[in-house]
Amino acid sequence: MSRSDDLRTIDSFLELIETVARNPHQKDRVLGAAKTRLSGAGLNALRLVARSGPIAVTEVARQLGVDQSTASRQIKPLEDAGLLSRTADTADRRVAWLEVTTAGMDVLERIHGLRRADLELVLGDWSGAELTQLAELLDRFKQSMLDAPQRRAAS
DSSP code per residue over 47-67: HHHHHH-SEEHHHHHHHHTS-
Long-range Cβ pairs for the range 75-82 (8 Å, 24+): 75/45, 77/37, 77/38, 77/39, 77/42, 78/38, 78/42, 78/45, 78/46, 78/104, 81/36, 81/37, 81/38
Mean pLDDT of 68-89: 95
User: Residue 90 has what DSSP assignment?
Assistant: S
* Each residue's pLDDT tens digit, 130-154: 999 999 999 999 999 999 999 999 9
Q: Is the pLDDT of residue 155 over 90?
A: no
pTM higher than 0.95 for the full model? no
pLDDT at 89: 85
101 φ, ψ (degrees, to nearest 5): -85, 175
Domains of the chain from N-terminus onward: 3-150 (1.10.10.10)
pLDDT of residue 68: 92
